[in-house]
């Protein structure tokens, strides 16, 4: 490789690139006339609450739900106020509650575990594998007679190993709730993410593929679960709609505002173009670094379904990863290591302080000390060593749909240059 003779920028050489990079947000970078029109349309209608009396036009929220039914092919979709509220309502919808355990991966946003606690169940933490998503084998090992559900998370746009996870879950009769917050529009073996488990949950927060600032969506084919989700998301749902054959129970207020729903409808229309561009950029970079010695790409269970929001690769050791990351940064290529003990990244179980110390909002100790719970889950900072090993050796580069092909080539050139010197 001719690049290997070049002097690294970190050692005083010429950097690969000294220019600027597009902002890393996705949907919000595409805000334009469509989004302005959508929000003003709601103001002109003077209707900001979705459940106004029948007889007027469809709410924005119901239009968004129709979009998600079409995207996922599922029978039901329910718009909610956030990805976290989607998870809580989906857990309640699936029948999860006091006394139950729910398995979550060691690498996911803390809200996944917090939602389990909010649903009054106990989170059980399982290892991730080289896809950086739930390891099906460790998921199976963590099952107890109390396990009611599992939440596979499609982190950073990459689908989890759903075939293996579904096989384990079906055998053990465990509900599967997909957390699609970071992989809106992603697919796995021809199916939309969120359409494989019993329920799928999406987020429309600003870091995600498309955004309404805040917002979320639940999809399912299970009519009873859907009715339960409706109740969980609105303490007075029976006043607006719902099937009275299912006994009512108290819920929260997780409704989506019409303003956010309208913004989301406009963004939803832009999602295919955003994803197509992200996928093209990632493919262009991957094609140029696939065979670089010493560097192992994250295993992507279905590369075609990958949203393309990030490139992740592993180095032989955590020290090498730190060295590589610093050298790549000096070349002008933005990147980061994923776990180095210095930044309390809230996506890594080790930093979920209130979970590890079993701390609720009061001193009562629920759900862990709840009379309905007969298990004895234990947590410790080192309980998932393989997850920490993978994350410690990983380097992440985030893509923007605004990157040009030249940006993609610069990223690849930077990686090849640094690898040529550091990994020989």
Ligand X SMILES: *Cc1c(COP(=O)(O)O)cnc(C)c1O
Catalytic residue positions? 208
Contact residues for 405 (Cβ-Cβ < 8 A; gap 6+): 281, 284
Q: Is 216 in the site for ligand X (CB under 6 A)?
A: yes
Whose tokens are 């100790």? That residue is 365
Contact criterion met (CB below 8 Å) for 197 and 163: no
Contact code string over 333-372 relative to ligand X, x by CB under 6 A:
----------------------------------------
- Coil, strand, or helix at residue 162? helix
Choose, by CB under 6 A, the member of 181, 184, 220, 400 that binds ligand X.
181
Residue whose CB is less far from ligand X, 205 or 298: 205
Give one word for 12, left, alpha or beta, with left for phi > 0 and alpha for psi -120 to 50: left
Rounded CA gap, 344 and 356, in Å?
Answer: 14
Using the rule CB under 6 A, give the single segment among 19-27, 105-113, 317-325, 412-420 that binds ligand X.
105-113
Q: How far is CA 398 from CA 218, 307, 310, 344, 410, in A?
A: 26, 12, 4, 19, 14
Contact criterion met (CB below 8 Å) for 306 and 414: no
Q: How far is the CB of 95 from ligand X (least distance, A)?
A: 21
Residue with the CB atom nearest ligand X in the bound state:
83
Residue whose CB is less far from ligand X, 152 or 367: 152
Rounded CA gap, 290 and 302, in Å?
Answer: 16
Rounded CA gap, 322 and 393, in Å?
Answer: 8
Residue whose CB is less far from ligand X, 223 or 253: 253
Rounded CA gap, 307 and 94, in Å?
Answer: 27
Residue whose CB is less far from ligand X, 123 or 420: 123
Q: How far is the CB of 171 from ligand X (least distance, A)?
A: 25
Using the rule CB under 6 A, give the single segment among 11-19, 107-115, 226-234, 252-260 that binds ligand X.
107-115
Choose, by CB under 6 A, the member of 17, 68, 109, 139 that binds ligand X.
109
Q: How far is the CB of 205 from ligand X (least distance, A)?
A: 4
Q: How far is CA 257 from CA 27, 65, 202, 216, 379, in A?
A: 18, 13, 16, 11, 38
DSSP tag of 158: P
Total residues at interface with ligand X (CB under 6 A): 14
Q: How far is the CB of 80 from ligand X (least distance, A)?
A: 9
CA-based Rg of the chain, rounded to a whole angstrom? 22
Q: How far is the CB of 18 from ligand X (least distance, A)?
A: 32
Q: How far is the CB of 179 from ligand X (least distance, A)?
A: 5
Rounded CA gap, 103 and 120, in Å?
Answer: 14
Q: Is 306 in the site for ligand X (CB under 6 A)?
A: no
Contact code string over 60-99 relative to ligand X, x by CB under 6 A:
----------------------xxx---------------
Q: How far is the CB of 180 from ligand X (least distance, A)?
A: 8
Q: Dihedral sign, CA of 166, 349, 77, 226?
A: positive
Choose, by CB under 6 A, the member of 42, 78, 111, 261 that binds ligand X.
111
Contact code string over 147-176 relative to ligand X, x by CB under 6 A:
------x-----------------------
Q: Dihedral sign, CA of 141, 142, 146, 147?
A: negative
Partners of 122 in the β-ladder: 101
Strand 76-80 to 175-179 pairing: unpaired
Residue whose CB is less far from ligand X, 93 or 216: 216
Choose, by CB under 6 A, the member of 179, 302, 306, 331 that binds ligand X.
179
Choose, by CB under 6 A, the member of 72, 182, 220, 401 that binds ligand X.
182
Site for ligand X in 264-293 (CB under 6 A): none
Q: Is 205 in the site for ligand X (CB under 6 A)?
A: yes
Type and span of the H or E element at 114 = helix 110-118
Q: Interface with ligand X by CB under 6 A: which residues?
A: 82-84, 108-109, 111-112, 153, 179, 181-182, 203, 205, 216
């Amino acid at each position: 490789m001719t690049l290997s003779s070049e002097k690294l920028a970190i050692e005083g050489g010429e950097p690969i690139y000294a220019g600027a990079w597009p902002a890393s947000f996705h949907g919000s970078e595409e805000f334009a006339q469509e989004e302005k029109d959508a929000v003003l349309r709601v103001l002109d209608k003077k209707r900001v609450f979705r459940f106004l009396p029948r007889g007027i036009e469809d709410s924005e929220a119901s239009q968004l739900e129709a979009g998600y039914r079409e995207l996922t092919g599922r029978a039901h979709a329910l718009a909610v106020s956030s990805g976290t509220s989607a998870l809580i309502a989906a857990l309640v919808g699936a029948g999860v509650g006091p006394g139950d355990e729910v398995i979550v991966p060691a690498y996911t946003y803390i809200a996944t575990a917090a939602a389990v606690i909010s649903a009054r169940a106990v989170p059980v933490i399982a290892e991730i594998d080289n896809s950086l998503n739930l390891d099906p084998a460790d998921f199976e090992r963590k099952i107890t007679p109390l396990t009611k559900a599992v939440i596979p998370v499609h982190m950073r746009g990459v689908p989890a190993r759903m075939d293996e996870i579904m096989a384990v879950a079906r055998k053990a009769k465990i509900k599967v709730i997909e957390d699609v917050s970071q992989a809106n529009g992603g697919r796995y073996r021809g199916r939309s993410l969120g359409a494989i488990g019993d329920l799928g949950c999406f987020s429309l927060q600003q870091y995600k593929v498309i955004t309404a600032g805040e917002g979320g969506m639940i999809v399912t084919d299970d009519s009873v679960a859907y009715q339960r989700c409706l109740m969980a998301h609105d303490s007075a749902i029976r006043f607006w709609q719902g099937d009275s054959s299912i006994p009512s129970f108290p819920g929260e207020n997780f409704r989506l505002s019409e303003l956010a729903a309208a913004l989301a409808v406009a963004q939803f229309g832009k999602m295919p173009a955003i994803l197509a561009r992200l996928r093209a950029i990632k493919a262009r970079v991957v094609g140029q670094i696939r065979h670089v010695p010493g560097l192992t790409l994250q295993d992507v269970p279905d590369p075609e379904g990958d949203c393309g929001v990030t490139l992740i690769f592993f180095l032989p050791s955590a020290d090498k990863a730190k060295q590589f990351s610093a050298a790549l940064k000096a070349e002008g290529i933005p990147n980061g290591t994923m776990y180095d003990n210095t930044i309390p990244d809230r996506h890594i179980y080790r930093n979920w302080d209130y979970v590890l110390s079993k701390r609720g909002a009061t001193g009562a100790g629920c759900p862990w000390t709840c009379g309905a719970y007969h298990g004895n889950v234990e947590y410790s900072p080192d309980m998932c060593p393989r997850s920490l090993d993978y994350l410690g050796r990983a380097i992440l580069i985030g893509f923007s749909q605004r990157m040009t092909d030249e940006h993609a080539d610069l990223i690849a050139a930077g990686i090849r240059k640094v690898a040529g010197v550091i990994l020989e």
